[in-house]
Amino acid sequence: MRRTIRFLFYFLFLPGLHAQQDAAFTKYVFNSLVFNPAVAGSNEHLTLNLLHRQQWIGFEGAPSTQSLCAHTPLRNERVGVGMSLVNDKAGATGRFDLNFAYAYRFSLNENLNLSAGLQAGVANWHGNWSKVLVEDAGDAVFQENISRWLPNFGAGLQLTGPNFYAGLGCPRLLEQTIRQDAGNSGRIYRHYYLTAGAAFPLRSDNLVFRPSVLIKGTGLFSRYRRDNLTQNIGAPTAIDLNASFFLIQTFWVGAAYRTALEGRNSSHDSADLWAAWYLRNGLRFGAAYDISLSRIRKAGQGSLEFMLGYEFDFKVKKAASPRFF
């Protein structure tokens, strides 16, 4: 437990550590409002999605994450609003995010729309060191619990056509300090998300091939400073590749691969399998399993995600109208 907590603490809070601090999701296509406010209202009806992720099953103190997203267009269908909650816990540390999003959709032509989104919210970063058994009882790092409320805002763009989308989002534009004391500092860095996807009907809408990609980068345009107290470590850009099939407008089945983009030294994080069932009344549920490919597989047994959603499609009363993205 001591090694686990120390690893997680260094990962989240310690000197200038410049790593990816946002939670990762395998089924990101269903809760993309978390990282891009321009998604708000894009489904053309009220959409709810609840997701639970348990990272590295069997690894003591491993991350556990829950997200809740809701967004809808308003009467003026060019305007969309949304709300997202993320609760992320790793060992004795955790984070809670609450954000509200606003998006405006511009019609570029008959089939092409550009959405611009803004969001504002607050995050609570906390560490409860009473749960940690330390070797040195006088270690200054663990003498005082952390609880910081940090307001922030974000922005994003999304281009959408009949059978494709592409988006760029930055959910937190402000970089803020969590803690700074003798020998220790912790800072929140900007995270950038580039997404793209398409839908290719094979013969008919009863079989649709849907590839997608998510590229995550951290700390672009951030300030770097080295001194005796801090050390900046650049996190690699990460990529999630996803391929799925939508069968008879009811069943989704897909596979994904997650890795870091470092050339020959790229790390292979996980191979993922997922499925979702779309009921005709608008209810949607699914699950995903990540097979760890890195050395952490020796301590954990992969990761699990569960998803529950609902599409309030008011335009089609008798049957929900499934969206490809």
Instruction: Tell whether pTM > 0.95.
Output: no
Q: How confident is the model at residue 227 (pLDDT cuts 50, 70, 90)?
A: very low
73 pLDDT more than 80 = yes
Q: Where are the domains of the chain?
A: 2-312
230 pLDDT more than 70 = no
Residues 6+ positions from 207 with CB-CB distance below 8 Å:
201, 245, 246, 247, 248
* Residue 317 confidence (pLDDT): 44
Q: How far apart are CA 276 and CA 150, in angstroms?
A: 35
Three-state DSSP at 39 gives helix
Dump strand ranges (E) for 108-250.
113-127, 146-161, 164-170, 176-181, 184-188, 191-198, 200-202, 204-218, 237-247
Q: Which amino acid appears at position 87 of this protein?
A: N
Q: How confident is the model at residue 224 (pLDDT cuts 50, 70, 90)?
A: very low
Residue 325: HSE in the Cβ half-sphere, 13 Å Cα cutoff: 30
- At 174-196, the pLDDT tens digits run 988 776 654 556 778 889 999 99
CATH superfamily of 2-312: monomeric porin ompg (2.40.160.40)
